[in-house]
Amino acid sequence: MALPFDQHDGEIWYDGAFVPWKDAKLHVLSHGLHYASAVFEGERAYGGEIFECEAHTNRLFASAAAMGYAIPYSKDAVSAAKRATLSRMGLTEAYVRPVAWRGSEMMGVSAQTNTIHLAIAVWAWPSYFDPALRERGLTLDISEWRRPDPRTAPCHAKAAGLYMICTLSKHTAEAKGCHDALMLDYRGHVAEATGANVFFLKDGVLHTPTPDCFLDGITRRTVIGLARARGVEVVQRTILPEEMEGFEECFLTGTAVEVTPVGQIGPYTFRVGDLTKALMGDYQAAVQPPHAALREVA
């Protein structure tokens, strides 16, 4: 069993100062825990530099605004704190996890006066790829849970509450021997995986769902830019599940999964083809510093 995350060594940036890793605690009566008023980011550092650091900081602030609160630091201060935590941990290949939440002043649905807390943890996470998966790709279940209607939840926020159905979907998928799950949206359209966006190839054209009710991933935008730089047409549109029958290649994009091929989704199979492999390589090159401004601006 791997060391639990509260048992690591090192330091965590917590409300403006570094504290020993094992002391970075919050009280059990915290609004963020009971009412999911937490927002977070998932970022990666390569070669000692955080890829798309400012874009992730911007999204953290936007997620907090969507939850009705403001992060009590400037964006520059948060980006600097992320870099300082990375360097304090002495890491170059790492995962960066900022998290903000409402504290304990009010303990009910209303939490108007609660202090907003912010912590930043960094841990070693070398970029790796299981060679077997490079050949076969991931196997995905199709989840019964749907990405919610934008009128049901602040669907563009990277907010803790939105991950409830992701964990449920992923646990069900793992119980069936799958790696992950594809989630449809509230209309029954293809949406995304539990922590990553999805792309499909057909007749030389990439298709990816319009991110109108789920996270428009930073990796997704990078990969759209990389594909277009190769002269590949990328279409963002409504994708129906039955269309997967005719798609040739499929891959996921996300900070954690980077570009990962998919071999099967429910009854539909895909080959790990040339474009998927090329974009995996392009992405690995793009994330190495110095970072070019390649990201597709939607």
Residues near ligand PMP, by CB under 6 A: 42, 158, 192, 195-197, 215, 217-220, 253-255
Angle between helices 53-66 and 75-88 (to 10 degrees): 120
Closest to ligand PMP by CB, 146 vs 220, is 220
Least distance CB 58 / ligand PMP (angstroms): 11
Closest to ligand PMP by CB, 184 vs 196, is 196
Closest to ligand PMP by CB, 114 vs 194, is 194
Residue of 131, 176, 141 lying closest to 277 (CA atoms): 131
Q: 278, 230 in Cβ contact below 8 A?
A: yes
Residue of 232, 213, 215, 229 lying closest to 296 (CA atoms): 229
Q: 283, 46 in Cβ contact below 8 A?
A: no
Least distance CB 43 / ligand PMP (angstroms): 8
Closest to ligand PMP by CB, 24 vs 182, is 182
What is the secondary structure of 131-150 as a DSSP string? HHHHHH-EEEEEEEEEEPPT
Q: Which residue is nearest to ligand PMP (CB)?
A: 217
Catalytic-residue membership of 158 = yes
Candidates 25, 75, 158, 170; catalytic one? 158
Least distance CB 141 / ligand PMP (angstroms): 16
Judge if the upstream peptide bond of residue 290 is cis by omega within 30 degrees of 0. Answer: yes
Least distance CB 197 / ligand PMP (angstroms): 5
List, by residue number, the catalytic residues: 158
